[in-house]
Structures are given as structure tokens and as C-alpha cells.
């Protein structure tokens, strides 16, 4: 029996835990901040349920074969007490978070060779503890190699399509290029399509161009089509109800993943000597937008 602990049973962690719990060869433990009784996930493949072991105290956690970290990126430090209990010498730790710094953010908590960065495309929303709607089919990418292959194997019995990405760095940066433009509607609180102008296009394009430039300096291969795709996505965004997670977090008054989505472009840009004025201005404005949170 392979043991898997999921830290953070929110929209992503809850959905992954429920899918993995469908496989009788896997024992799933949920490490929660807010207690929950069970998981009920409405998926495109039907409703799935699971009743995993739920722990709320790190001291109760055993050493496991796998840990999946699915907290928001600003909650890295809060996972420390869990990781200290759950991780042994043979434990692999998958970081299922947006951004491009999954390994960098956790390597002071777990030896880098045990970390498995993960890119996930799986739109999901939580309405209450353990109650989640998975809106579309889920896809997961892990780096090529033994750790990535082992992660892919974990999802073999689920409806989530997990694959290794031979060029994981590019995959991560291409996703960030797609995500970084969402800072604009998060600031204006309006879908971009209805207010599209040449000036707005210049802002969205600038944000994406800067992301691509920094990503290339980090070793990613990013074609101009990726930038054009971000602009096109923003241009055609007509629906005020289908907002990105950062926009939804601002609407809900939640803390936002500003640093992982746009701040990182500014920080790494500075390291590479690449100017990122568009991202810097928008990050500064969003951080000062009335939310008590600065990241
Ligand atoms: N949702 C999506 O559609 C989606 C898609 C792709 C990628 N992502 C990325 O996936 C990551 C997770 O996002 P999400 O939407 O799943 O966030 P979420 O719904 O807010 O879930 C985060 C979970 O982490 C828990 N948590 C925080 N600190 C904890 C701690 N110390 N111990 C245990 N649990 C803790 C939270 O607890 P509480 O229950 O107390 O809040 C919550 O259950 C983010 O990086 C996000 O950008 C999300």
C-alpha cells in the first residue's frame, strides 16, 4: 500500500485527494487546517466521494511515501510542521502550486532531490470544507526523470491525465505567461474584452512580454505565439463571471498569490538585469489595493 498525505485539502488538494482515494492501492491522508468529514467532488466524470483519514495536528502525522503540497504559494512556511513529520528519507514531496518556484520555495524544508515540482491545469472551486466542483478535466505535468515518472504512476487509475514534461522549465514559464495577464482584470475588476483599447492591449502585451523575457533568461523556450495567446485571451475575455483565481481572491477579500504570479517576474528580472516596469507597477498597485496582504 502506497501512503500519500495531501497538505491543504482546498480546491486542488481536495480534488486530488479524492481522485487518488478511488484507487484501492493507495492510502490517502488529508492534512487540514480546517477540519472536514469527507470529500464530495463534482467532476466532469461524475460525482466522486472519499472518506480519507483527516489530520489537523502535525504531531499525529506518520512518515509517508508521498506528500502532495496543495496550499497557496504564500502558505509555504505553514507547511513546515507537517513536512517535518511526514517526510522520511524515501518520501517524495510533490509541490502542486502555481508559479515557477516550486523547488526554490521548499528546498529549505525538504532536500531538493526529494522535491517534485508539478504544473496543474485543473479548474476547481471549493464551496465549503470538502465540497468542491472540478470544472474541467485535469492535467498534470511533472519533470522528466524517476520522481516525475513515479508521480505520473500515482495518477494512473484516475481521470486526471498526468505526464512528464521533457522541458519542465518551459512548461512552467509558458503557464506563467498565460496567467500573468490576469493581474489587469484583477485590478480593474472588469473583464478585459468589453473595455479593450490599444492602451489596454499595450499593458497586457507588456506584462506578457516581460514574463517571456525573464522566462527565457531562466532557460525556458517561449515562442512569440505564447505572448500573442495571452493577449488574445485577454482581448476575448467577455465574461465577468469566469474570473481567474487571483481575481476571485480579490473579490472575496482573500490574500492573493501576487508574488507567485507577477512579483516573481519582477524579482527574477532584477537578477537578470531585465527591466519589468509593467509588472512592477501593477504588482505595486495591486498590493496597495486595499487588501491587508502584500503578497
Ligand atoms: N483552484 C484552481 O482552479 C487552481 C488551478 C490550478 C492551480 N491552482 C494552484 O493550486 C494551489 C492551491 O490552490 P487552491 O485553489 O486549491 O487553494 P485553496 O482552495 O485556498 O486551498 C488551499 C488549502 O490549503 C490549506 N492550508 C493552508 N495552510 C495550511 C496548513 N498549515 N495546513 C494544512 N492546510 C493548510 C487551506 O486551508 P483552509 O481550508 O483552512 O482554507 C486550504 O484548504 C495554488 O497555488 C493555486 O494557484 C489552483
Q: What is the pLDDT of residues 30-65, one digit of tens each?
A: 999 999 999 999 999 999 999 999 999 999 999 999
Are 39 and 9 spatial neighbours (Cβ–Cβ below 8 Å)?
yes
Share of the chain above pLDDT 90, in %: 94
Task: Identify the H or E element spanning 148.
Answer: helix 146-154
Task: Name the grid cell of 237.
Answer: 475575455
Ligand 1 mean position to 70 CA, how many Å? 5
Q: Is 9 in the pocket of ligand 1 (CB under 6 A)?
A: yes
* Cα–Cα distance for residue pair 149/172, rounded to 1 Å: 17
Look at residue 291 in the predicted model and tell me its pLDDT: 60
DSSP output for 193-235: GGG--HHHHHHHHHHHHHHHHHHHHTT----HHHHHHHHHHHH
Q: Is 245 in the pocket of ligand 1 (CB under 6 A)?
A: yes
* Contacts by 156-162, CB closer than 8 A, 24 or more apart: 156/23, 157/22, 157/23, 157/25, 158/19, 158/20, 158/22, 158/23, 159/19, 159/43, 159/45, 160/16, 160/19, 160/122, 161/137
Q: Is 31 in the pocket of ligand 1 (CB under 6 A)?
A: yes
* Cα–Cα distance for residue pair 266/210, rounded to 1 Å: 9
Q: Is 147 in the pocket of ligand 1 (CB under 6 A)?
A: no
Mutation to probe ligand 1, out of 10, 29, 257 (largest number of atoms < 8 A from CB): 10
Q: Which of 12, 23, 17 is nearest to 54 (CA)?
A: 17
pLDDT at 293 over 60: no
Ligand 1 mean position to 29 CA, how many Å? 16
Look at residue 292 in the predicted model and tell me its pLDDT: 55
* Average pLDDT value for residue range 94-107: 97
Q: Which of 113, 186, 151 is nearest to 20 (CA)?
A: 151
Tell if the pTM clears 0.85, that is, is over it. yes
Q: From atom 15 of ligand 1, which residue's Cα is the shortest distance away?
A: 11
Look at residue 270 in the predicted model and tell me its pLDDT: 98
Ligand 1 mean position to 232 CA, how many Å? 28
Mutation to probe ligand 1, out of 70, 101, 121, 138 (largest number of atoms < 8 A from CB): 70
* Average pLDDT value for residue range 273-295: 85
Q: Is 13 in the pocket of ligand 1 (CB under 6 A)?
A: yes
List, by residue number, the catalytic residues. Answer: 175
* Average pLDDT value for residue range 263-289: 97
Q: Is 20 in the pocket of ligand 1 (CB under 6 A)?
A: no
Ligand 1: atom nearest CA of 126 is 19
Q: Is 120 in the pocket of ligand 1 (CB under 6 A)?
A: yes
Ligand 1: atom nearest CA of 124 is 3
Q: Is 243 in the pocket of ligand 1 (CB under 6 A)?
A: no
Mutation to probe ligand 1, out of 7, 12, 30, 138 (largest number of atoms < 8 A from CB): 12
Q: Could you report the per-residue pLDDT of 191-238, keeping only the tens digit for each?
A: 999 999 999 999 999 999 999 999 999 999 999 999 999 999 999 999
Amino acid at each position: 500500500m502506497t501512503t500519500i498525505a495531501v497538505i491543504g485539502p482546498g480546491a486542488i488538494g481536495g480534488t486530488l485527494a479524492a481522485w487518488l482515494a478511488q484507487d484501492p492501492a493507495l492510502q490517502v491522508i488529508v492534512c487540514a487546517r480546517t477540519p472536514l468529514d469527507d470529500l464530495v467532488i463534482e467532476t466532469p466524470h461524475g460525482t466522486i466521494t472519499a472518506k480519507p483519514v483527516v489530520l489537523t495536528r502535525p504531531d499525529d502525522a506518520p512518515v509517508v511515501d508521498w506528500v502532495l503540497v496543495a496550499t497557496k504559494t504564500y502558505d509555504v512556511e505553514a507547511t513546515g510542521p507537517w513536512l517535518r513529520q511526514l517526510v522520511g528519507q524515501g518520501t517524495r514531496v510533490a509541490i502542486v502550486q502555481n508559479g515557477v518556484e516550486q523547488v526554490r520555495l521548499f528546498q529549505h524544508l525538504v532536500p531538493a532531490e526529494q522535491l517534485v515540482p508539478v504544473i496543474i491545469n485543473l479548474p476547481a472551486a471549493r464551496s465549503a470544507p470538502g465540497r468542491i466542483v472540478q470544472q474541467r478535466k485535469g492535467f498534470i505535468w511533472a519533470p522528466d526523470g524517476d520522481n516525475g515518472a513515479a508521480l505520473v504512476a500515482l495518477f494512473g487509475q484516475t481521470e486526471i491525465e498526468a505526464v512528464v514534461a521533457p522541458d519542465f522549465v518551459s512548461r512552467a514559464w509558458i503557464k506563467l505567461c498565460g496567467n500573468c495577464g490576469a493581474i489587469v482584470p484583477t485590478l480593474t475588476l472588469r473583464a478585459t474584452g468589453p473595455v479593450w483599447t490599444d492602451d489596454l492591449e499595450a499593458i497586457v502585451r507588456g506584462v506578457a512580454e516581460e514574463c517571456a523575457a525573464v522566462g527565457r533568461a531562466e532557460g525556458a523556450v517561449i515562442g512569440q505565439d505564447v505572448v500573442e495567446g495571452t493577449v488574445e485571451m485577454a482581448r476575448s475575455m467577455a465574461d465577468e463571471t469566469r474570473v481567474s483565481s487571483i481575481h476571485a481572491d480579490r473579490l472575496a477579500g482573500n490574500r492573493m498569490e501576487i508574488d507567485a504570479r507577477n512579483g516573481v517576474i519582477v524579482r527574477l528580472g532584477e537578477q537578470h538585469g531585465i527591466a519589468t516596469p509593467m509588472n512592477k507597477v501593477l504588482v505595486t498597485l495591486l498590493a496597495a489595493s486595499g487588501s491587508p496582504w502584500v503578497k
